[in-house]
Amino acid sequence: MNLKISYNWLREYFKTNQSVTDFAKEFSLKSQSVEKIKLIGQGLGGVVVGKILEIEKHPNADRLSLAKVDIGRRKPLELIFGQMAKVVVGDQLPVAVAPVKLPTGIEVQAANIRGVNSEGMFCLNSELGLSDRDEVMFFDASVAPGTSIVDALKLNDYLLEIEVTSNRPDAMSVVGLAREAAAVFGKKFLYREPKPSLVIPAKAGIQAAGSPIRSGMTKNKQNLLLKVEVKEPKLCPRYQAMVMTNVKVGPSPLWLQMRLILAGLRPINNLVDITNYVLLELGQPLHVFDYDKLNGQKIIVRPAKNGEKIMALDGKNYDLNENNLIIADQQNPVAIAGVMGGEFSATTAETKTIVFESANFQPLTVRKTTRAINLRSESSDLFEKGLSTFSTKLAILRAVELTQKLADGEVASSLIDLGAKAALPTKINFDLANVKQYLALEIPEDKIRKILESLGFKVKGKKILNLEVPWWRANDITAQHDIIEEIARIYGYDELPRTLPSGELPGLVEDSSFAWESLAKNLLVGWGFTEVYNYSMVSAQLLTDLDFPVKKAVRIANPLNEEMAYLRLTLLPQILVNIKINQKNFSRLKIFELSHVYLTENNKLPKELLRLTAAVGGGKDNFLAVKGIAELLLEKFGINNYQFKITDENCPIWEKGKGLDVYQENNFLGQFGLIRSDVLEKFDLDFPVACLDFDFTTLVKLANKQKIYVPMPEFPDVNRDLAIVVDQKITWQEVSELVNQSNPLLEKVEYLSTFVSPALGENKKSLAFRLTFRAPDRTLKVEEVEAVVEKVVSSLEKKFGARLR
């Protein structure tokens, strides 16, 4: 949570002469991170308090008015203003005297607007950069016109934005941060607990309500004027309340308003402002009710009834149900517990008697309610983190103290206090040997003691310290490792040495699939392919486009959108989409992806299988290009005894007869071939595309790093090139298989080329190939070779009617 607080306010509780940047640096390294520092008064030198002496309508513009303003000079300033805020004669407010440039960048120049002079501008808080709100800060008569607002508002200050981690709600306040700062800088923590007078003046109650006001829970009194009942003590472990009367509702003093404004809060009236001020100061949310508006003068903490409604202070209506904890009077909800008060019971200018609530609510119930009704506040943000039940008392006493001071309020009840009171402090025995063991460094015992004491621990014992955890840290400090952290951070992480871990060699070796993955990527990139990464999430449409069964895909319950509702079963469709988006810029495309696909399983996690999909688009001979890739890849993976089989012609992906399945024995390794033309059309592809789609998980299983050494031949080989003319339907495989059987002297048969021409005859083609002959024990004689060649030719003639060209 990010807190905006004034540096001067913070320094009221620990004295330092450090510059704000030095403070921020050190504090960030040892406590909470200071995210921003803003110099507040900067650039506001030209803005003064002005008192409105006269207001007239602008003679030539309906929406404009002109004012004569006393800014402490002999001659009043004349200025023109619009309708952003309602002002009347006698108001005192900030005036920018032209020419001046405000910190928000606004330039105020003397001007003549439709015949009237304007020598300055009334300024909203937003224009002065004091807050984001378009509100006017009014000054009371104690401020002389012409006073610089920097002086009037004590703006020689810095606004710190501090990010407090979620485990430290105790530091989400000025006092909490000051306590940290005092520990970090080794200074005295100057905070003093509030001690207001709790004596109920004799006639206070009678004046206010016509009858004596007494505490609701005091046993011996008969006329209980405020009765508090907590029906869900688990959800509301502590509830404190106090009645005050004869309050004078009005604006808060400027210094208080200013602190709220800088923190991003809006001043309302002194009573509401006091609750917000205490929230900033102590991190404990408070609420104030108008006592006379509480039906039956009762407060009941209970779950809402289904169908109950409340209009909250934000002016909106919220529907409540039994899962929402509320504060109710005898009849109706008056506040959403820990989140926001209700409009009906709010204080107004007429309010005379009030009830302060200072309570502790269980984090989970507050959290569930804020999620359910979609309403958050400064209060709920704090309660959700889990506050100490001990902080309610300090907060309510502080509110009483401030109300006595700022609103002339009188205490009209004793302090009502329901729920947890005497939780025992957490005790931890801390073995000092831990310090060396975790920090690789000795820290003197008295230094450790000082650090812990500065953080509020009570420290006893030697070598093994008996620690008493301060109540405000009870939630986050539970064991020795937490103590290590406290010592280490305040001592300074920077002071710890840096070492590389020593120790035994770990036993587990790396999964070999990573090496194969990297080999495949290196090879493909070497062969000119570019690697793509697509999202794992796809639409149902993309799967059905290639006839993949959506039922087998993992469905996301809360997808970002329907385009990303399923986990992919295949990489192919996205690869085709990739080609589509690139085809306008490239005439030939070679891309691949190596990623997981996901197959849903009933009560288990889905199967995650690696797939390798590559595509070649544009250019010629795409089929042969992917076939070559497939063959070479298999070779590099040490997989030799594979077979290609024509894919089932009903397969919706591959062009009929132009897709091949790859098998090694019974293992299906994948497919490759030309993409069907109707698929190309569906994906809007302009050119033929050939793809290869391998089950990489199986490929890795079969892969073999074993290298084989074959002795170099001792005797030379003899080559013969042949070109034969055969029917076009005769395949190379048929020809080569026949040739291969011919003679043991034939070492290999290599395909050279295919050539088709009408001159060869109808439906004929010419196949050229090279025969290599070798004997292991001698140099071959020409006749031997010729004899085999003749035999080959004649068997081709016999079997396929081939003739030599």
Partner 1 sequence: MKEKIKQLKNDFFNEIEKISDLTALEKIEIKYLGRKAGELTKILRQLRDLPVTERQEIGVLANQLKKELAQKIREVFQLLKNQASQSAVFDVTVPGLKPTEGHKHLVTQAIEEIVEIFERIGFSRRRYPEVEWEWYAFESLNMPPNHPARDEWETFFIDLKPVGPKGQRILTPHTSSGQVREMEKGQLPIRMINISKCYRRQIDISHVPMFHQFEGLLIDQQVTIADLKGTLDYFVKQFFGSNRRARIRPSHFQFTEPSFEVDVSCGLCDGQGCKMCKAGWLELGGAGMIHPNVLKAGKVDPKKYSGFAFGWGVERCYLMKAGLSIPDIRMLYQNDLRFLNQF
Which of 307, 444, 526, 758 binds partner 1 (CB under 8 A)? It is 526
How far CA 654 is from CA of 175, 552, 633, in Å, comes to 71, 21, 21
Of 415, 410, 406, 413, the residue nearest 271 (C-alpha) = 406
Segment near partner 1 (CB under 8 A); pick from 114-122, 242-250, 266-274, 484-492: 484-492
**174-210 burial string, b = 16+ CB within 10 Å, else e?**
bbbbbbbbbbbbebebebeebebeeebeeebbeebbe
Residues between 11 and 40 that touch partner 1 (CB under 8 A): 21, 24-25, 28-33
SS3 per residue for 237-301: CEEEEEEEECCCCCCCCHHHHHHHHHCCCCCCCHHHHHHHHHHHHHCCCCEEEEHHHCHHHEEEE
The answer to whether 373 contacts partner 1 (rule: CB under 8 A) is no
State yes or no: residue 524 binds partner 1 (CB under 8 A): yes
Tell me if 433 contacts partner 1 by CB under 8 A. Answer: no
Reduced to 3 states, what is the DSSP secondary structure of residue 489? Answer: helix
Contact call for residue 596 and partner 1 (CB under 8 A): yes
Question: Rounded distance, CA 215 to CA 198, Å?
Answer: 12
Residue-wise burial string across 511-527, b where 16 or more C-beta atoms lie within 10 A, e elsewhere: eeeeebbeebeeebeee
- Closest CB to partner 1 among residues 337, 579: 579
Q: Is 514 in the site for partner 1 (CB under 8 A)?
A: yes
Number of residues near partner 1 (by CB under 8 A): 96
Q: Does 488 interact with partner 1 (rule: CB under 8 A)?
A: yes
Quick one: 354 or 579, whose CB is closer to partner 1? 579
- Residue 464 as a binder of partner 1 (CB under 8 A): the answer is no
**Window 696-755: residues binding partner 1 (CB under 8 A):** 721, 723
Annotate 574-641 with three-state secondary structure. HHHHHHHHHCCCCCCEEEEEEEEEEECCCCCCCEEEEEEEEEEECCCCHHHHHHHHHHHHHHHCCCCC
**Rounded least distance, CB 524 to partner 1, Å:** 6
- Interface with partner 1, residue 589, by CB under 8 A: yes
Instruction: Check: CB of residue 798 under 8 Å from CB of residue 737.
Output: no
The residue to which tokens 């495949």 are assigned: 520
Least distance (Å) between residue 522 CB and partner 1: 8
- Segment near partner 1 (CB under 8 A); pick from 146-154, 393-401, 490-498, 757-765: 490-498
Indicate whether 533 belongs to the interface with partner 1 (CB under 8 A): yes
**One residue of 531, 635, 684, 727 binding partner 1 per CB under 8 A:** 531
Q: Which of 4, 187, 489, 658 binds partner 1 (CB under 8 A)?
A: 489
Q: With contact defined as beta carbons under 8 Å apart, do 204 and 412 qualify? A: yes
How far are the Cα atoms of 29, 197, 413 from residue 493, in angstroms, in the given order?
Answer: 8, 45, 50
For partner 1, what does the binding mask look like between residues 329 and 368, x meaning CB under 8 A?
A: ----------------------------------xx--x-
Q: Name which of residues 649 to 688 contact partner 1 (CB under 8 A).
A: none
Binding residue for partner 1, selected from 17, 222, 223, 603, defined by CB under 8 A: 603
765 binds partner 1 per the rule CB under 8 A: no
Toward partner 1, which CB reaches closer, 108 or 724? 724
Residue 440 touches partner 1, criterion: CB under 8 A: yes
Residues between 147 and 186 with contacts to partner 1, criterion CB under 8 A:
165-168
Binding of residue 284 to partner 1 (CB under 8 A): no
The closest of 759, 623, 638, 775 to 699, measured between CA atoms, is: 638
Q: Is residue 608 a contact residue for partner 1 (CB under 8 A)?
A: yes
613 is an interface residue for partner 1 by CB under 8 A: no
Peptide bond into 267 cis (omega under 30): no
> The tokens of 69 are what?
């303003």
Residue with tokens 């700022």: 406
User: Which of 507, 711, 744, 758 lies at the binding interface for partner 1 (CB under 8 A)?
Assistant: 507
Query: Any contact of residue 262 with partner 1 (CB under 8 A)?
Result: no
